[in-house]
Amino acid sequence: MMRHLWVATLLLGVMLMAPLARAEMRLSLEDSRVLAIGLVQGGQPKAARAVALVLLQADPQDVTALIVLARSARALGRSDEAIAAGRQAFRLASSGDDRFSAALVTAQALSAADRKTRAQLWLRRAAEVAPDAQRRAVAVRDFAYVKSRNPLSAQLSFSTAPSSNINGGPTTTSVVIGGFEFFNPDAVPLSGLGVSLGGSLGYRIETGAQSHLRFGVSAKTTQYVLSDSARADVPEARASDYATAGVGASVTWSRVQADRRGRAQVTLAVGQDWSGGAVLARDISLSGQVDRAVNQTDRLGFHLTGTRTQRLDEDLRSSEKIETGLHWMRALPSGDGLVVRATLATTWSDAASIAHRAAGVGIEYQIGRPLAGMDVALILNLDARDYARPLYTVVAREDLGVEAGVMLTLRRVETYGFAPQLGVVASRTRSNVAMFDTERVEVRLSVKSVF
């Protein structure tokens, strides 16, 4: 291949923007690349595209020319050409700079062609191959922008949780009823491994400058594997008896205030749950939520939810529930974050085991600066339940529960914007009816999107 290209009218017309139809100049391939880059950066996409095409005639695998072609074609509205050139450049690129540039321009071309979900995937790729923190931040910023304008949203979730008590078994096998003590040797905590898989899909329709409707569907299942000790303690126990699944659909109306500091939403949702492979319940709920930034560091919110649950295993256990709650979020000067939630709920049912009042407080403290390459969050939840009518004993049941844990997001092993999250959570419930005393320790492993 010749080391020099004869570029006549085209290049002089590009540089001088004058009709020098018979002038000639000789540029090396490298000089031509520099010219092409300067043209596309200088806002002359037609000329840049023409130079890039000449370069590609000389060398179809010229990565720089392919990137210039992708950028200029995107600016000219030639989306398919831009996408094809960007992909080819990414396949051929060997340096981090070129791989990042190719991935970024491909994402930009896809977004311009209104293929925003695929653009998000390419922006994750750009963030993954970014040669430095500054350019990674550019990809993350663009990802947030495209995501905010993508009407389609999709999410997958996966987690595993070794647990000391997958069945919620009590800490004692005995219960006193009417002055007599009864024993149930099978009512014991069963240890094992839970594996959860879920997904959701949503589509947003803009209904105004600050409002939209979102239609969503979701599904989730959790399957268990019993430990050797659990099978030895209760030989007849089957892990499938504790498996759960659920599907749901929802429609949400949301509105952001004109000053962008407050927002409100109303959601209507329906769902169906399975337990042990059998249909357990169907429910319908209506909820409303408002929240607003009160200053630069604090945000307050309120929610109210009403739920009607129809139990299909036993109609007596059907219920209606009203829950209200407040949450407060604060950004601390240190960069840490604090979230406090408080809830009150009342559940009505003909079943004494279901009807109750409940109150809860939850605290989450997020450490702003990574520790040993990990994001750290501490959680503490307290809840109390007061049952309406006695069951098994002459006094009504009262429960007090506490849950505490630490969640670690392992940033050092992040891939394409996803990082493993490891958590250790311990919970304990104490009841005035001994058969409802429970304890559990879980190690939770999941995958989290960090942008």
| 239 and 100 housed in the same domain | no
Contact 432, 215 (CB under 8 A): no
pLDDT at 12 over 50: no
Which residue is associated with the tokens 């690129």?
93
**Residues 223 and 237 reside in one and the same domain:** yes
Q: Which two tokens stand for residue 317?
A: 């256990």
Q: What is the CATH number of the domain that holds 321?
A: 2.40.160.40
pLDDT reported for residue 179: 55
Lowest mean pLDDT among 24-33, 79-88, 109-118, 313-322: 24-33
CB 442 within 8 A of CB 421: no
Comparing 232 with 199, the larger pLDDT belongs to 199
Query: Do strands 356-371 and 180-183 pair parallel, antiparallel, or not at all (unpaired)?
Result: unpaired
Asked whether residue 142 falls in the same domain as residue 48, the answer is yes
The two tokens of residue 388 are 């309406």
* Residues 102 and 159 grouped into a single domain: no
Instruction: Determine the residue type at 427.
Output: S
Which residues make Cβ contacts (< 8 Å) with residue 260, sequence separation at least 6? Answer: none
Tell me the per-residue pLDDT of 37-70, one tens digit each, with 9 for 90 and over. 999 999 999 999 999 999 999 899 999 999 999 9
pLDDT in tens, 101-144: 999 999 999 999 999 999 999 999 999 999 999 999 999 999 99
CATH number at residue 118: 1.25.40.10
Mean pLDDT of 228-247: 92
Please determine, for residue 10, whether its predicted confidence score (pLDDT) is greater than 80.
Answer: no
- Closest to 362 measured CA to CA, from 403, 399, 423: 403
Tell me the three state secondary structure of residue 424.
Answer: strand
What does the block give as tokens for 260? 């962008």
Residues 88 and 180 reside in one and the same domain:
no
The verdict on 197 and 131 lying in the same domain is no
**Statement to judge: residues 362 and 411 lie in one domain:** yes
CA distance 89 to 133: 22
Q: Do 197 and 312 belong to one domain?
A: yes
Distance CA 99, CA 180 (A): 75
What is the Cα–Cα distance from 325 to 308, expressed in whole angstroms?
Answer: 18
Q: Whole domain around residue 126: which residue ranges?
A: 4-148
Give the lowest-confidence range in 20-34, 245-259, 380-394.
Answer: 20-34
Q: Give the count of domains, the chain.
A: 2
Say if CB 150 and CB 120 are below 8 A apart: yes
| Same-domain pairing of 144 and 174 | no
Statement to judge: residues 49 and 177 lie in one domain:
no
Average pLDDT over residues 229-237: 89
Same domain as 82, residue 197: no
pLDDT computed for residue 28 by the predictor: 76
Out of 109, 130, 148, a domain closes at: 148
Comparing 190-204, 275-289, 351-365, 432-446, the range with the smallest average pLDDT is 432-446
- Helices and strands (H, E) in the chain, number of each type: 9, 18
